[in-house]
Structure 1
Amino acid sequence: MPESVCKWYLICPIKYYTDKGLLDSTWVNNYCLVANSKCVRYQMENNGQIHPDNMLPDGSIDKTLKV
């Protein structure tokens, strides 16, 4: 996997939701595939903080996504 891809990408729910067509690929393209350090999910994961599966990379919660 290229260094530009987030280290959590393969296990991240954002990838799952995008692969299933439940979430627009813009999220993956703008955060996951460019290892965007502004991703709130990434920051929380690195700090060992619990966060819901339906939290988007910008920290907002998408209530339409199953948790």
Structure 2
Amino acid sequence: MIAAIRYVRRALRRAWLVYEIHETESYLRACARDGLIDSLHLREWRGRVCTMRCELASLNAGRTWGS
């Protein structure tokens, strides 16, 4: 039972990360369209995307029931 709960929790976290990455990249593209290509704020957002991608990769690495 606990393994199933962990599996569902990880699946929900993966889905949320995919959504966050998509929305953040959309925001960055909108900024680029508006001519905002480099600032400390945008660098921070790009860093967040990298962090989210790393977390997503680590979650995808353990996609089994027992983990």
TM-score scaled to structure 2, two decimals? 0.26
Q: Point out the structure with the larger helix share.
A: 2
